[in-house]
C-alpha cells in the first residue's frame, strides 16, 4: 500500500511516517510532502494507487483550511483520509 503524509512540519512528518510504518502492516511505500501542491501532484491518477492519506488541515498556501481537503476529494473521492491539525497557540 502506498501511504501519503502531508504536513508542513518535518518533525511531524517523521513521527507520522514512523507510526504508519509501525501500525499499518501492508505499507509498501510512505511518501511525505511539505506542501499541498506537491501532494496534489502525487494524487494524480497517473501516479498510481494510494491506499491512505494522512493530512494536516493547516497547510501553507491554502488560506481556507478545507480548500486542500476539497481538492484531494476532487481527485480521489474514495481515498481513505485521516485529517488532523495542531496549534501551538492557546484557544
Tens of pLDDT, residue by residue over 28-70, are: 788 999 999 999 999 999 999 999 999 998 888 777 878 999 9
Tell me which of 22 and 54 has the higher pLDDT. 54
Torsion-angle region of residue 15: left (phi > 0), alpha (psi -120 to 50) or beta? alpha
Q: Answer whether residue 22 shows pLDDT above 80.
A: yes
- Cell 501492508 belongs to residue: 26
Residue 89 is predicted with a pLDDT of 67
Amino acid at each position: 500500500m502506498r501511504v501519503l503524509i502531508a504536513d508542513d512540519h518535518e518533525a511531524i512528518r517523521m513521527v507520522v511516517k514512523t507510526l504508519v510504518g509501525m501500525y499499518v502492516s501492508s505499507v509498501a511505500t510512505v511518501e511525505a510532502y511539505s506542501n499541498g501542491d506537491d501532494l496534489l501532484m502525487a494524487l494524480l491518477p497517473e501516479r498510481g494507487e494510494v491506499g491512505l492519506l494522512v493530512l494536516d488541515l493547516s497547510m501553507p498556501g491554502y488560506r481556507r483550511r478545507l480548500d486542500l481537503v476539497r481538492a484531494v476529494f476532487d481527485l480521489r473521492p474514495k481515498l481513505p483520509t485521516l485529517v488532523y491539525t495542531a496549534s501551538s497557540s492557546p484557544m
